[in-house]
Structure 1
Amino acid sequence: MPSYPPTLPIQPFTRPVRGSVTLPGSKSITNRALILAALAKGTTTLHGALFSRDTRIMVTALRALGFIVVTNENALTITIAGRGGEIPVREATIDVGNAGTAARFLTAFVCLRPDGIYHFDGDEAMRRRPIGALLEALESQGAQASSRNFPFTLRTAGLPGGVVSIDASESSQLLSALIMAAPKAKSPLAVTLVGETVSRPFIHMTERMVEQFRAPVADYAIEGDATAASYFAELVIATGGSVEVNGLNLEANALQGDAAFFRLLAAKNLIATSGKTASHGSSREGVTADFNDFSDTFLSLAAIAPLLDGPTKISGIAHTRKQETDRVAGMARELTKLGQHVIETEDALEIHPRPLTIGVEIETYHDHRFAMSFGVLGCHNLRGDGQPWLSIKDPACCSKTFPAFFDLLEALRTGSH
């Protein structure tokens, strides 16, 4: 794991970026695949898996539940011995940190055990994140939860089947958790949605992966992280030049909806794409777009908005107020510190570019996406002399999904990558 200081000054690029990067594996796919492999019969090896804080939390939890999980970080593989829907250990304590996927997926997963007692807790931030609607749905199947928030103890009774309703308006992961566990219920389990969900492409990802694992899968390849790719699209806007992004799947059959960010910037001519390469585009116009379906990438656009001509309006992001932090309020706060005029509503941000303030320390709120998106903004040579003008607090928070991010950024700056 890279070691970073508490506050990291970002060294600007003094020339247009040139180089190539290889994306880490998708966190969303890795953690879903870990659950589905544990539910499967037989042994599955995940290739190109992500090794980060969130995936390590999932691996640790599966081991605590009695699963045999063998990891090889050098080879980027994880091998899981599936138990066909059985949860081996009857009672366990599970710390989910601030990993939303682990928190929601494991909560439904353990309910397959008919007589389990599982003690769940997480970071302080996790205690404010939505889980109550999932617990209510599981209680309709016979489970008993001691609380509607973390920490809680969950007494499980198996999943008898039938119809389960859930309100997934706060997080699509609540619905995904049930979709993955449903095939192992005692009788057919139908999940019905109360109202609308957010980030619908993640539901499609879950459904497609459940189908992929319906038959035994000995080897499963993890796509590169499309959300992480957004930072390199942002980088070519900040510095000019081009980056080859290896591992990004922009094909129609891609599992990750966040590839839509690349398509949006290309449609607005902010970047040009050719195969796996993103290059500086012909436009600097501000963007108006609904980010509900790919909201993890909204921070990448918001952070770069001060460099665009005219206002940028990002909508469809109310649910991100209940993610690692209140991302809407946090982004408005940091952009305002940078001298920008920001109009914040419950569901949207409107950013009007103003001269950037020099010497700002960006608060990251223990949220990797703040660190990475503003880290890229800092690569812009604002002073014109290559001297840092922006610093990132707690850069190590990137360990959640992209531990080597700032090392990779520096390698691109120096031309060593």
Structure 2
Amino acid sequence: MPIFPGAPVRGALTLPGSKSITNRALVLAALAERPVTLRGALFSRDTRIMVAALRELGFRVETDEAALTITVHGCGGEIPAREATIDVGNAGTAARFLTALVCLRRGGVYHFDGDAAMRARPIAGLLDALTQQGAEASARQFPFTLRTAGLAGGRVRLDASASSQLISALLLVAPRAATPLRVELIGDTVSKPFVTMTERMVSDFPARFAPHTRAADKPNPQAATARTAEAEAASAGGADAAVLDYEIEGDATAASYFAALPVVTGGGQLSLGGLKLGPDALQGDTAFIALLAERGLIRHEGRSISRSAADAPPHGIDADFNAFSDTFLTLAAIAPLLKGPTRITGIAHTRHQETDRVAGMARELRKLGQHVIETEDALEIHPRPLVPDQVIETYHDHRFAMSFGVLGCHDLRGDGQPWLSIKDPSCCGKTFPEFFDVLDSLRQSAAQTAAVS
């Protein structure tokens, strides 16, 4: 699909709901003792996989895509179906969270599988931890059959170095363990803001089972790098049948693409509806907007993102993206337009996500004529003249499609004609099915504004 360049972008958009929050909230709602309605929920490939899996497990789930609501009738920590077959596709949150969720059932048998990419993604650390709770897994990667024995609680050791979702999976179900569950990390983990998101959601969720959850960074006498996280159950019975509401924040990772647009189009202003900022925001990926503003690439006031053609030329950035790594592709894709090199570190773990994101990004940037230095944990991008008429390979990864879709909005030739194409733009269905429609709408709006002025 060719990308049409645009004039300095102006307008407003409403961000889709956060996938990370929606899928966590779906699990928490399934654990509740009364119905919970998620408002502003995301309807995308990953959330539909989670909804389908919950229904396969016997939960009643009602969806209204027009109203952006999902109502889950929780079963108070019970898993209705004793046996089920669950296909998680390439949805990492669904894969990890559902694996932990079914272990609440004693005597359950659950068959898990995913697509080819999921079969290479890390799950062994979580399965090892659940084995300590009596579960039996037929393999340490997808596909596997999991025979469950309930969650007795107590001390569990977990290697979550490959993905923070492994610890989030345990934290989500810990309130329904028979006794308080103490999770001791072996080594460290990545993308820590997502762990904080999980802890806060468990603590603040409007169902009456919600416990007080906290993470403690205490040194382990046996390993100085170890960390601990605790979740204590505090179930309360007698909940009535009233439906509770939970509001889903707009997707902060999706916001990164639109935050970069004024840089790409040479200026403009955008208002990002649904984005929550400040100390009450759950999503660590809001750090991307703060980083661009701090380094002078954009200005931002509340939900308003802007850049003036009179601003100083945008310079390359040297930053550690470990805590908000989903947004590193956004910066890497626009790096050819920045003055001087851009260096992105802390991203080794993204080699094990939807695809090897480090290698894939290096490959596509080189295709565009860029000088790229790739290490295990970093990319260093030295801008060179862009080579037009290239087709970007997306590797079935939505973040490649959206990041390079933004780069394609740069008017490289100065004639408003496409110079960059995206292969398989439909992969955006994973988290943002309407992405290219929104991008085109903003382009047309900018063109109309430019014509009038």
Q: For the superposition of Structure 1 and Structure 2, which TM-score range results when normalised by the shorter chain?
A: over 0.9
Q: Which blocks of at least 5 consecutive residues in structure 1 are unaligned?
A: 1-7
Which whole-Å CA distance do the structure 2 matches of 1:187 and 1:179 have between them? 13
Which whole-Å CA distance do the structure 2 matches of 1:176 and 1:85 have between them? 17
2:290 is aligned to 263
1:353 aligns with 2:380: no
2:163 to 155, 162, 171: 171
Secondary structure, counterpart of 1:163 in structure 2: strand
Is the Cα contact below 8 Å between 1:40 and 1:213 reproduced in 2?
Answer: no
Which whole-Å CA distance do the structure 2 matches of 1:251 and 1:75 have between them? 27
Amino acid at match of 1:405: F
Question: For 1:228-247, what aligned pairs fall within 5 Å after superposition?
Answer: 228-239=254-265, 240-247=267-274
Report the count of equivalent residues.
409
Q: Compute the displacement of 1:249 (Å).
A: 1.0
Secondary structure, counterpart of 1:55 in structure 2: helix
Amino acid at match of 1:126: M
1:329 to 359, 382, 406: 359
1:364 aligns with 2:394: yes
Question: For 1:202-213, what aligned pairs fall within 5 Å after superposition?
Answer: 202-213=194-205
Which whole-Å CA distance do the structure 1 matches of 2:81 and 2:207 have between them? 25
Which whole-Å CA distance do the structure 2 matches of 1:214 and 1:249 have between them? 19
1:223 is aligned to 249
Which whole-Å CA distance do the structure 1 matches of 2:305 and 2:180 have between them? 46
1:273 aligns with 2:296: no
Question: For 1:133-172, what aligned pairs fall within 5 Å after superposition?
Answer: 133-172=125-164
Q: Which blocks of at least 5 consecutive residues in structure 2 are unaligned?
A: 209-242, 449-453
Q: Compute the displacement of 1:214 (Å).
A: 6.6
2:5 is aligned to 12
Which whole-Å CA distance do the structure 1 matches of 2:88 and 2:286 have between them? 27
Secondary structure, counterpart of 1:364 in structure 2: coil
Amino acid at match of 2:262: V
Which whole-Å CA distance do the structure 2 matches of 1:215 and 1:104 have between them? 22
Q: Compute the displacement of 1:275 (Å).
A: 2.0
Amino acid at match of 1:248: L
1:124 is aligned to 116
1:308 aligns with 2:300: no
Q: Could you tell me the TM-score, scaled by structure 1's length?
A: 0.97
Percent identity, aligned pairs only, is 71
TM superposition outliers: structure 1 runs of 4+ over 4 Å: none
Q: Compute the displacement of 1:269 (Å).
A: 0.8
Q: Render the CA deviation track for 1:134-184: whole Å, top value 9, x for unaligned.
A: 000000100000000000000000011110010111000000000111110
Is the Cα contact below 8 Å between 2:206 and 2:246 reproduced in 1?
Answer: no
Which whole-Å CA distance do the structure 1 matches of 2:191 and 2:356 have between them? 16
Which whole-Å CA distance do the structure 2 matches of 1:250 and 1:301 have between them? 20
1:75 aligns with 2:100: no
Q: Compute the displacement of 1:213 (Å).
A: 2.2
Q: Render the CA deviation track for 1:348-407: whole Å, top value 9, x for unaligned.
A: 000000000011100000000000000000000001001100000000000000000000
Q: Compute the displacement of 1:218 (Å).
A: 0.3
1:4 is aligned to none
Q: Render the CA deviation track for 1:301-346: whole Å, top value 9, x for unaligned.
A: 0000000000000000000000000000000000000000000000
Which whole-Å CA distance do the structure 2 matches of 1:101 and 1:89 have between them? 21
Larger radius of gyration: 2
